[in-house]
Amino acid sequence: MYAFKGVLYAIIHERNMRIHIVVTLYLLYFTSYYRLSPIKMSLLLIMIALVISLELVNTAVERVCNLYSTKYHRLIEIAKNVSAGAVLLASGFAVAVACFLLWEPDTLWNIVVFHCESPERFTLFVLTLVIAALFVVIGPKRMADNAKSLFKKNRKK
Region class of 118: left (phi > 0), else alpha (psi between -120 and 50), else beta: beta
Give the up-direction half-sphere exposure of residue 24: CA atoms within 13 A in the CB hemisphere: 18
Residue 135: count of CB within 10 angstroms of its CB: 19
Closest-CA residue to 94 (of 154, 34, 54, 58): 54
Q: Is 55 a catalytic residue?
A: yes
Choosing from 14, 55, 77, 117, the catalytic residue is 55
Asked whether the beta carbons of 22 and 135 are under 8 A apart, the reply is: yes
Residues assigned a catalytic role: 55
